Chain A
Amino acid sequence: MAKNTLSSRFRKVDIDEFDENKFVDEQEEAAELQGPDGAEVESLLRQGDMMTAFHVALRNPPVNTKNAVVKERAQAIVLRVLTSFRSSEIETAVRSLDRNGVDLLMKYIYRGFEKPTENSSVILLQWHEKAFAVGGLGSIVRVLTARKTV
Chain B
Amino acid sequence: MSLYNFGLEPLSCHAWNKDRTQIAISPNSNVVHIYQKSEKGWNKIHELTEHSGRITGIDWAPVSNRIVTCASDRNAYVWTLKEDAWKPTLVLVRINRAATCVKWSPQENKFALGSGAKLISVCYFEKENDWWLSKHIKKTICSTVLSLDWHPNNVLLAAGSADLHCRVFSAYIKDIEERPGPTPWGAKMPFGEMLLEHKDCGGWVHGISFSPSGDRLAWVSHNSSIGVADAPAGKEVTQLTVEHLPLLSVLFVSETEIVAAGHDCCPYQYSYKGPGNLQFVKKLDVPKQSSRSGTSAMQHFRNLDKKATTEEDQNELDTLHQNSITQLCIVEGPKSKVNKFSSVGLDGAMVVWDFKVLMGVINTKPGVPSRRKYVI
Contact = CB atoms under 8 A, between A and B. Distances in A.
A26 B164 CA distance: 12
Contact of B223 (A99, A135, A146): A146
B14 interface: no
30 contacts: A21-B138, A21-B140, A22-B142, A23-B143, A23-B163, A26-B200, A99-B241, A103-B241, A135-B243, A136-B244, A137-B244, A137-B245, A137-B264, A138-B225, A138-B243, A138-B244, A138-B245, A139-B241, A139-B243, A141-B223, A141-B224, A141-B245, A141-B246, A142-B223, A142-B224, A142-B241, A145-B202, A145-B223, A146-B202, A147-B200
Interface size band for A: 10 to 19
Q: Which secondary structure dominates chain A's binding surface? A: helix
A73 B32 CA distance: 56
Interface of B: 118, 138, 140-143, 163-164, 199-200, 202-203, 222-225, 241-246, 264
Contacts of B138: 21
Given A99-B241, A142-B241, A147-B164, A137 B142 contact: no
A103 B264 CA distance: 19
Given A21-B141, A21-B142, A142 B245 contact: no
Interface of A: 21-23, 26, 99, 103, 135-139, 141-142, 145-147
A117 to B, nearest CB: 29
Contacts of B242: 138
Could you tell me the dominant secondary structure of chain B's interface residues? loop
B142 A138 contact: no
Contacts of B224: 137-138, 141-142
A135 B243 CA distance: 6
B243 A142 contact: no
A137 B243 contact: yes
Contacts of A23: 142-143, 163
Nearest to A22: B142
Nearest to A148: B200
Nearest to B118: A21
Contacts of B223: 141-142, 145-146
B160 to A, nearest CB: 15
A137 B222 CA distance: 12
A122 B246 CA distance: 28
Contacts of B244: 136-138
A145 B118 contact: no
Task: Choose among B118, B224, B245 the residue with the greatest number of A CB atoms under 10 Å from its CB.
Answer: B224
A135 B143 CA distance: 30
A26 B199 CA distance: 10
Nearest to B203: A145
The 5 closest A-B pairs by CB, nearest first: A136-B243, A138-B224, A23-B142, A145-B223, A145-B203
Contacts of B143: 23
Given A21-B140, A141-B223, 15 more contacts: A23-B163, A135-B243, A136-B244, A137-B243, A137-B245, A137-B264, A138-B242, A139-B243, A141-B224, A141-B246, A142-B202, A142-B223, A145-B222, A145-B223, A146-B223
A141 B224 CA distance: 7
B241 to A, nearest CB: 6
B263 to A, nearest CB: 9
A137 B223 CA distance: 10
